Structure 1
């Protein structure tokens, strides 16, 4: 009988205290992290990546509202599927990498949505313009690491990306679907 009482007491104590410990993530593993994008061009789905970026994170699952995240993307590291597209995207009508070689995101608000889902809002600076963007992120804790999978839609018209014949959203979609995966060891 005393064993049963001890078990019930332990279970009640665990329920009262909540989760056994909060996870903290403060260092990004760049080789395991990635940024990709998709968009429509002339009716076809196009996939691409950025291979060079630096991400920072300061996230405590016990206090997500205090979290901070940032990313700097080297725009010249774009791979849009072929060398001609990669060269075209460096030009002034697109990213104008000679003048604006990087895109930068800095979070300013993190909201817990439940079930390891978060809304991260912040400022994205691209091609000299800064706009508020928001991303939905799922945290997947696995064996001492946190995998932060997120998505958001970038509207290229908000950043003056694509001009001339490329300004037509029927040729290249205005909405660019950005996906990212940030991997960080638990601290």
Structure 2
């Protein structure tokens, strides 16, 4: 083997080793969701009275870069059948076709398409929200706090339920259940 061939082979090995070394920290940056400390819920008004409900099962994939937030990636999947109004009978009702139609659409999701520094130390997030087979653009402000080895992502996303056909037939009437819904989240992750 010539010296050039040996040098070329050792250069390829060195480049491969450097590439692998650089890739490992990037993979380690993906945060692990702490499901015990994280919550996703909604607030809506029924007969003008605020009602709080939550989703018991969801998953969030967050690759957050505080130095360069625009390179961050976020996706959230919510198990619709885990919706909890605090009463088993009401829970069963909202999973029906007129409301969430959980049999046909078992998941809701949000995928961020853009994230950048915003006002008051918050981030401006833009993405696509999919519920009940409908996908609409969505945007909201997000606060990020570091607490030791954890990061806390908090925010709220106002939506219109009728944009997703949540509440069909007689339930389209917003006199009983308001069109405005606020999705609230408190997501805790660790590296």
| TM-score, reference length from structure 2 | 0.81
1:164 aligns with 2:169: yes
Give 1:63 shift. Answer: 0.4
The 4+ residue runs of structure 1 with deviation greater than 4 A are none
Q: Answer yes or no: is the 8 Å Cα contact 1:107–1:123 preserved in 2.
A: yes
Structure 1 partner of 2:84: 79
Report the secondary structure of 2:139's partner residue.
Answer: strand
Structure 1 partner of 2:7: none
Q: Structure 2 unaligned runs (5+)?
A: 1-28
Comparing 67-76 and 114-123, the one that deviates more:
114-123
- Which string of whole-angstrom CA distances, capped at 9 and with x for unpartnered residues, describes residues 27-83 of structure 1? 222221110111100121111000001111000100000111011100000001222
1:65 aligns with 2:70: yes
1:183 aligns with 2:184: no
Larger Rg belongs to: 2
Structure 1 partner of 2:154: 149
Structure 2 partner of 1:40: 45
Structure-2 separation of matches of 1:114 and 1:171: 36
Structure 1 partner of 2:117: 112
Q: Structure 1 unaligned runs (5+)?
A: 1-23
Q: Answer yes or no: is the 8 Å Cα contact 2:30–2:61 preserved in 1.
A: no
Give the aligned CA root-mean-square deviation in angstroms. 1.3
